[in-house]
């Protein structure tokens, strides 16, 4: 799979890849957004339900997609973490948080796989709140260094 790090974390990634958590759709989604890693064409689509009262807390997340183990495991792990998080906390996440969550060394090329789900969730929220106008997220817009 081309990722380094401890066996435990590798096992965890494979487990999330094979048994993705929160996989599917949410009919009552507050917003839905899709994104792609244009280098490979892999996609993640995410549904997010916000708390009815304050619209600041994430109540539920579901995703579906096609892609490598890192992109899909990252979406699965993130879908668990996001529940109970505020929109502000979501917007505060960066690629280091995602890489920490995965717990493995990610090569520069694979960083785009790792951050796809995070970017989809963040862009989806920004579009919903009128802060961004975008049809689909692309990791191409990320300023990741490729070495």
3-state helix, strand, coil in the chain (%, to 5): 45, 20, 35
Which residue bears the tokens 């990634």? 13
CB closer to ligand FES out of 29 and 40: 40
Q: Which stretch binds ligand FES (CB under 6 A): 8-16, 62-70, 80-88, 92-100?
A: 62-70
* Integer Rg of the chain from CA: 14
Q: Which stretch binds ligand FES (CB under 6 A): 20-28, 68-76, 79-87, 95-103?
A: 68-76
Window 9-48: contact mask with ligand FES (x via CB under 6 A) = ----------------------------x--x-x------
Cβ 70 to ligand FES, closest distance in Å? 6
CB closer to ligand FES out of 26 and 40: 40
Cβ 37 to ligand FES, closest distance in Å? 4
Cβ 59 to ligand FES, closest distance in Å? 27
Strand-pairing partners, residue 49, are 60
Please answer whether residues 62 and 25 qualify as being in contact, where contact means their C-beta atoms are separated by less than 8 angstroms: yes
Contacts of 54 (CB under 8 A, 6+ apart): none
CB closer to ligand FES out of 45 and 87: 45
> Which two three-digit tokens encode residue 68?
């490598």
CA dihedral 101, 118, 30, 47 (to 10 degrees): -80
Cα distance between residue 48 and residue 27, in whole Å: 10
Residues that bind ligand FES (CB under 6 A): 37, 40, 42, 67-68, 70-71, 113, 116
């Amino acid at each position: 799979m081309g990722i380094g790090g401890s066996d435990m974390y590798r096992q965890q990634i494979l487990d999330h890849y094979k048994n993705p958590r929160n996989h599917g759709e949410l009919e009552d989604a507050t917003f839905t957004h899709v994104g792609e890693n244009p280098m490979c064409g892999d996609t993640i689509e995410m549904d997010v339900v916000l708390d009815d009262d304050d619209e600041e807390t994430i109540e539920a997340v579901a995703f579906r997609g096609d892609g490598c183990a890192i992109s899909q495991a990252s979406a699965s792990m993130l879908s668990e973490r996001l529940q109970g998080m505020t929109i502000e906390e979501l917007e505060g996440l960066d690629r280091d948080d995602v890489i920490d969550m995965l717990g493995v060394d990610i090569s520069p090329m694979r960083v785009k796989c790792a951050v796809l789900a995070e970017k989809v969730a963040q862009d989806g929220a920004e579009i919903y709140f009128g802060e961004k106008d975008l049809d689909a997220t692309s990791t191409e817009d990320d300023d990741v260094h490729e070495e």
